[in-house]
Amino acid sequence: MFQSFAVTARPEQGPPRLAALRARLAEAGLDGFLVPRADAHQGEYVAARDERLAWLTGFTGSAGFCLVLPKIAGVFVDGRYRTQVKAQVDLADFTPVPWPDMKPGPWLTEQMPGGGRIGYDPWLATEKEIAEIAAAVGGAGITLEPVADNPVDAIWPDQPAPPLAPVAIHPIEFAGEEASDKRARLAKGLAEAGQAAAVLTLPDGICWLLNIRGADVPRNPVVHAFAILHGDGRLDLFIAPEKLDDTVRAHLGDGVVLHPPEAFAAALAALSGPVRIDPGSTPLRVIHILEEAGIDIARAEDPTLLPKARKNAAEIAGTVEAHLRDAAAMIEFLAWFDTAAPSGGLREIDVVKALEGYRRRANELRDISFETICGSGPHGAIMHYRVTEETNRRLHPGEIVVIDSGGQYLDGTTDITRTVAVGPAPDAARAPFTRVLQGMIAMSRLRWPVGLAGRDLDALARYPLWLAGQDFNHGTGHGVGAYLSVHEGPQRLSRVSHVPLEAGMILSNEPGYYREGAFGIRIENLIVVEPAPDLAGADPERRMLAFRTLTFVPIDRRLILPEMLAPAERDWLDRYHARVLELVGPRVGDAARAWLESATAPI
Amino acid sequence: MFQSFAVTARPEQGPPRLAALRARLAEAGLDGFLVPRADAHQGEYVAARDERLAWLTGFTGSAGFCLVLPKIAGVFVDGRYRTQVKAQVDLADFTPVPWPDMKPGPWLTEQMPGGGRIGYDPWLATEKEIAEIAAAVGGAGITLEPVADNPVDAIWPDQPAPPLAPVAIHPIEFAGEEASDKRARLAKGLAEAGQAAAVLTLPDGICWLLNIRGADVPRNPVVHAFAILHGDGRLDLFIAPEKLDDTVRAHLGDGVVLHPPEAFAAALAALSGPVRIDPGSTPLRVIHILEEAGIDIARAEDPTLLPKARKNAAEIAGTVEAHLRDAAAMIEFLAWFDTAAPSGGLREIDVVKALEGYRRRANELRDISFETICGSGPHGAIMHYRVTEETNRRLHPGEIVVIDSGGQYLDGTTDITRTVAVGPAPDAARAPFTRVLQGMIAMSRLRWPVGLAGRDLDALARYPLWLAGQDFNHGTGHGVGAYLSVHEGPQRLSRVSHVPLEAGMILSNEPGYYREGAFGIRIENLIVVEPAPDLAGADPERRMLAFRTLTFVPIDRRLILPEMLAPAERDWLDRYHARVLELVGPRVGDAARAWLESATAPI
């Protein structure tokens, strides 16, 4: 079982640790310290040794930070975690702060009217983050100061060691392009931009570039390492040697020079500029090292970001196969659920365990791609709900359940949400469910002119809800990797995304609706951008793109109000269900097949 | 008759004028000169004396510029004018340049490999424009140099004098807010931003602020003037005294100090900073004067821009009434057209004249709000087609015609497009017409959460076309003034607009479709943003906005394929037509009323 349901937060551990940290800060002459939930690679998941925020405060959310001052310790969390933080931290010592409504700069200004020195670990922060805070506190006598040794590490006696998971070769049949060709391609881009080298710090970017995978953090099959890509295509890789066996060393080849992680700083200082760094993800310490050495810096997006996002034919073919395998598991699961759930005997953890079990059956599951969300009844309205032994709710007949889950397979990463009824469908959910489905269908059917970004398209998934005065407070979709991170940039279907969509980008399409205290709805398929198929009557010379659907699992027909659907929407749904049966029917057992035939009947 | 159909371009006049300009430039030691189609107020329409581009080159389009070099004179025009420019300029002496595909910076670099001095008139250019060119030619030895006396004016013997149209008071019943209150409100904003004064150069902004109107340019009832608004609400107005009679002087009141235009430069130089200017519209000369006097400059949007765009209740009420009056004229016109056109005897100019005649009948028309576009058959595919005596095409039965027009009334500005069949509707146009209508209905029905901009919504008007591989190459809508400019910023329904829509903003909703050489389609209503009406089942606490339709004129039902419409779209159309009959039926004559009853029958 990958997923754990244990309650790990122990609020009572926080206060003594906080006191120890304050003592340490006082010794160092600091008035405060920033403890982010981040490592040097700015990923969504961190290794155990980098869980400094959880260790100090008790708060285990996937985003947030603590600002420790002499008299107050603010735990900044976003809308997802406002309730959770209150249960996880000792509220006498820690003060939850609603972020980003309250930003660290104004908060510091308010809390430290006399000014002061705030320390931060420059390996765990980006230039963008620190610059934003510094700009806001500039006039208030507050300074932000990088510290060489993290004071949390100093007071954490049993801090785990850095992960040393073995590196695996990502086979060319799934990667689709030799690592040496990728390096040459990116190096050409650097040369054209007049950049001598680029510093790479994103684990999924480095894994994509070198056709390797790892297991240094949960859920994302990535390797922790740093790299410097040179304008001639050579690459210096800074990685613990224990992670590499001879086969992997041979795979990396002569163009990749191996160094221990300790050699990174000196190698940076010895570079000739201009050196490209990404101000949104490079640790600020890297920039300081370059600046101290007087090296010219070119600020630009990480050069692996867009090439990784544009999947090639092999990556798409692998992802298609991974989705069909995953769909078979989901269908077996849904067939089981429809038999087991209506009696009212299941709890949320039973559902999560059953689903992971079906995914494991084919023996191809490398990991789940994130902790399964199984939100029954009112829990469905908590967008990022994760069930624990304490919250484990019984599913009642007549409720609906949001089940958002995914798998990591060698050939691809999946992410799917289905909202299903426990027995009879509740009337109150059917109109909003149908609107969410209409938005999801609108996005699935979309064709659009080349050049548009997520911001230009996001409204199409919301329009049916908007007409009813409803909406959902998250993006319509995020980028997804190919056996990499299930949340990957820069592509997004979101009003904050200005990155033009390009062929090969994989995204989720997941509108939702959440009625607090009552229920939640989300329907999610993955989709991939491709050149729009030819169409009679289309404008000549207008280049357009379209989405191809990757996920083939039935949508609960009991929750749909057919009379709300336009003819074209019904057609889409019926054709989608026919295709589910055609593609996945042959991959499931007899019982699931019978269930599937009924679940995919025309509406 | 406001509209003229005369062909004013005389290509043969250009070459001798170009030679004279080059001689003048040589005397001044300049290698080139920038001739924009702009005056010091950066409006869409310019006075006769500011038609330097047309006088020099023959090109009469509403946007463009000429870069005169010793051996070449490039006339930069956008996509609308690629054909027109070729007919209007002498192609031996002038070279059309496709702008913005080719920008002036790269073009200059290519044409002047040895570098050189390019002059420009700093009263006719903005900082943003010149900075963009300067940045592009920086390394090529090309410099941009402001000249004190415009050399085109120097060689233009019969250049018209500046306009001196009398200023009229815009009554409080239409303005809705006293000018002194507006000044106080804006001055408060300046004070809060720490700005001592703001320089106002936009004619519609000054007219809005002072509750005055004028006639210094065609189509837009504006006054040419400059103003300095001070942080205490006082305003210095620089205007030719001949324009003001005693009533207007009394209306302006003590808080407005009058100066002749010649006093503007000295007044600028005497200011204390920070002085707010808008780098996108302030003449660069103003900035130079402030800089030369060592005055602190605050670059920000013109302070009248947003307050003017947010119409108050009186402005909206006036606009509603103007639209009903205009709708009656349009309906009389359409009823006449349906009788007169099918015989095939009408030409485009006949249609334009008839329409202006119907608008004049109520004796309230102050001007047309722009030159009527009447594009029959293939002319309809030319988006900004203006008929002249040379292009005046006969309307053939079985064709469709795009008619885009509007009126300036004391109580409001209108802009409406209807695409109508000449007798029997052509089959080829019906599917795209229905798609354009679906987009227009989608926008009309829209509700959306507060905070979104045109870019976030524009796709909704295109979705039905996109699904068919079709689109239109213009924005979905532009801002509209209240008895001011028919094209007003900053609000837009466009993928280039990031300005959040706010209650009171008036916009057009005008999707289209253009098949080159065959036909054009556009359907346009004006709409105003308002708080979304209450709705059962809407999310609590989610603040939403909606559009209210202002235009009530039938949409040609013969061009609609009813089976393509979703039930909600049919409902919208039938309800819209019922409302047209109810609101405008009582305002038209018997013949038109009979036509209207048939034209508004349910689909």
* CB–CB contact A537 B463 (8 Å): no
Query: Is residue B9's pLDDT more than 80?
Result: no
- Which H helix or E strand runs over B456? helix B454-457
Identify the burial level of A22 via C-beta atoms within 10 angstroms of its C-beta, where 0-12 means exposed, 13-18 middle and 19 or more buried.
Answer: buried
Residue B387 neighbours by CB under 8 Å, 6+ apart: B5, B348, B349, B352, B374, B375, B379, B393
- Residue spans of beta strands (DSSP E) within B470-537: 477-479, 488-493, 506-509, 512-515, 519-522, 525-531
CB B411, CB B318: distance < 8 Å: yes
Q: Token digits for A537?
A: 């009557």
Euclidean distance between CA atoms A131 and A138, whole angstroms: 10
* CB–CB contact B469 A442 (8 Å): no
* CB–CB contact A448 B460 (8 Å): no
Q: Token digits for B179?
A: 């000018």
pLDDT band at B287 (very low <50, low <70, confident <90, very high): very high
Q: Read off the pLDDT of residues A306-337 as tens digits, 9 standing for 90 and up.
A: 999 999 999 999 999 999 999 999 999 999 99
B469 touches chain A (CB under 8 A): yes
Residue A463 neighbours by CB under 8 Å, 6+ apart: A439, A442, B442, B446, B460
Class of domain B310-533+541-599 (CATH, top level): alpha beta
Residues of B in contact with A539 (CB under 8 A): 469-471
What's A75's DSSP letter? E
CB A401, CB A165: distance < 8 Å: no
Identify the burial level of B586 via C-beta atoms within 10 angstroms of its C-beta, where 0-12 means exposed, 13-18 middle and 19 or more buried.
Answer: exposed
Neighbours of A283 (CB within 10 A): 24
- Which H helix or E strand runs over B487? none
CB A341, CB A423: distance < 8 Å: yes
Residues of B in contact with A455 (CB under 8 A): 455-456
Euclidean distance between CA atoms B512 and B437, whole angstroms: 9
CB B348, CB B374: distance < 8 Å: yes
* CB–CB contact A466 B442 (8 Å): no
Instruction: Report DSSP letters for B415-441, one per residue.
Output: -EEEEEESSSPPHHHHHHHHHHHHHHH
Euclidean distance between CA atoms A322 and A587, whole angstroms: 13
B535 touches chain A (CB under 8 A): yes
Q: Which of A551-565, B4-18, B174-188, B465-479 has the lowest mean pLDDT?
A: B4-18
B445 touches chain A (CB under 8 A): yes
B450 touches chain A (CB under 8 A): no
Of B447, B459, B567, the CB nearest to A466: B447
Mean pLDDT, range B500-515, rounded to an integer: 98
- By DSSP bridging, strand B73-77 and strand A525-531 are unpaired
CATH 3.40.50.850 fits domain B168-303: no
Q: What is the pLDDT of residue B593?
A: 98
Q: What is the pLDDT of residue B33?
A: 98
Cβ pairs A/B, distance under 8 A? 85
* CB–CB contact B495 A452 (8 Å): yes
B457 CA: distance to closest CA in chain A (Å): 6
Backbone angles phi, psi at A197, to 5 degrees: -160, 165
Q: What is the pLDDT of residue B366?
A: 97
Of B448, B469, B495, the CB nearest to A447: B469
Q: What is the pLDDT of residue A572?
A: 98
Neighbours of B269 (CB within 10 A): 13
* CB–CB contact A448 B431 (8 Å): no
Of A448, A466, A468, the CB nearest to B537: A468
Which residue, among A467, A513, A519, would best test binding to B if mutated, counting the most B CBs under 10 Å from its CB? A467
A598 CA: distance to closest CA in chain B (Å): 28
B65 CA: distance to closest CA in chain A (Å): 28
Place of tokens 């998934």: A461
Q: Read off the pLDDT of residues B75-122 as tens digits, 9 standing for 90 and up.
A: 999 988 888 899 899 999 999 999 999 999 999 999 999 999 999 999
Average pLDDT along chain A, 603 residues, taken 10 residues at a time = 86 95 96 96 94 96 94 93 89 95 94 94 96 88 95 96 97 98 98 96 98 97 98 97 98 97 98 95 97 97 98 98 98 98 96 98 95 97 91 97 98 98 96 98 98 98 98 96 96 96 98 96 98 95 97 98 94 98 98 98 96
Residues of A in contact with B567 (CB under 8 A): 566
B327 CA: distance to closest CA in chain A (Å): 28
Which residue, among B433, B463, B515, B543, would best test binding to A if mutated, counting the most A CBs under 10 Å from its CB? B463
A184 touches chain B (CB under 8 A): no
**Nearest CA among B432, B426, B425 for reference residue B338:** B425
B449 touches chain A (CB under 8 A): yes
B463 touches chain A (CB under 8 A): yes
**Nearest CA among A175, A289, A171, A307 for reference residue A226:** A289
Euclidean distance between CA atoms B169 and B167, whole angstroms: 7
**Nearest CA among B378, B365, B472 for reference residue B410:** B365
| Whether the domain at A11-155 and the domain at A168-303 fall into the same CATH topology | yes
B538 touches chain A (CB under 8 A): yes
Cα angle, residue A256 at apex, residues A255 and A262 outer, rounded to 5°:
150
* CB–CB contact A544 B466 (8 Å): yes
Q: What is the pLDDT of residue B39?
A: 96
Q: What is the pLDDT of residue B547?
A: 98
Instruction: Tell me the CATH number of domain B11-155, given options 3.40.350.10, 1.20.990.10, 3.40.190.10, 3.40.50.2300.
Output: 3.40.350.10
**CA distances to B338, B416, B570 from B579, in Å:** 21, 17, 14
- By DSSP bridging, strand A512-515 and strand A519-522 are antiparallel
* CB–CB contact A468 B538 (8 Å): yes
* CB–CB contact B471 A566 (8 Å): no
> Domain coordinates of chain B in residue numbers?
11-155, 168-303, 310-533+541-599
Residues of A in contact with B447 (CB under 8 A): 466-467, 469
B491 CA: distance to closest CA in chain A (Å): 17
Of A456, A466, A469, the CB nearest to B495: A456
Place of tokens 């699992």: A553
Q: Read off the pLDDT of residues A103-154 as tens digits, 9 standing for 90 and up.
A: 999 999 999 999 999 999 999 999 999 999 999 987 789 999 999 999 999 9
Q: Token digits for B107?
A: 């073009």
Q: What is the pLDDT of residue B308?
A: 98
Euclidean distance between CA atoms A384 and A387, whole angstroms: 10
Cα angle, residue A206 at apex, residues A204 and A208 outer, rounded to 5°:
65
Q: How many helices (H) and strands (E) does chain B have?
A: 20, 28
* CB–CB contact B539 A460 (8 Å): no
Backbone angles phi, psi at B28, to 5 degrees: -85, 0
Cross-strand bridge partners of residue B403:
B374, B418
B495 touches chain A (CB under 8 A): yes
Q: Residue B595: left (phi > 0), alpha (psi -120 to 50), or beta?
A: alpha
**Amino acid identity of B376?**
S
Query: Is residue B569's pLDDT more than 80?
Result: yes
B531 touches chain A (CB under 8 A): no
Place of tokens 């500046």: B162
* CB–CB contact A459 B455 (8 Å): no
A466 touches chain B (CB under 8 A): yes
Euclidean distance between CA atoms A282 and A304, whole angstroms: 13
**CA distances to A65, A554, B203, B454, B487 from B480, in Å:** 46, 48, 15, 14, 5
**What's the gap between Cα A173 and its chain centre?**
25
Strand order in the sheet with B400-405: B373-376, B400-405, B416-421
Q: Token digits for B368?
A: 């047309």
Neighbours of A219 (CB within 10 A): 22
Euclidean distance between CA atoms B316 and B213, whole angstroms: 18
Residues of A in contact with B467 (CB under 8 A): 445-447
Q: What is the dihedral of CA A438, A441, A445, A451, to 10 degrees?
A: 80
Q: What is the pTM of this model?
A: 0.95
Query: Is residue B8's pLDDT more than 80?
Result: no
Closest residue on chain B to A439 (Cα): B460
B447 touches chain A (CB under 8 A): yes
Of A460, A466, A537, the CB nearest to B448: A466
CB A152, CB A64: distance < 8 Å: no
**Amino acid identity of B41?**
H
* CB–CB contact B459 A457 (8 Å): yes
Q: What is the pLDDT of residue B47?
A: 95
**Amino acid identity of A500?**
P
Euclidean distance between CA atoms B306 and B490, whole angstroms: 7
CB A525, CB A532: distance < 8 Å: no
- Residue spans of beta strands (DSSP E) within B52-187: 65-68, 73-77, 95-98, 116-120, 142-146, 168-169
B561 touches chain A (CB under 8 A): no
Residues of B in contact with A471 (CB under 8 A): 449, 539, 542
pLDDT band at B362 (very low <50, low <70, confident <90, very high): confident
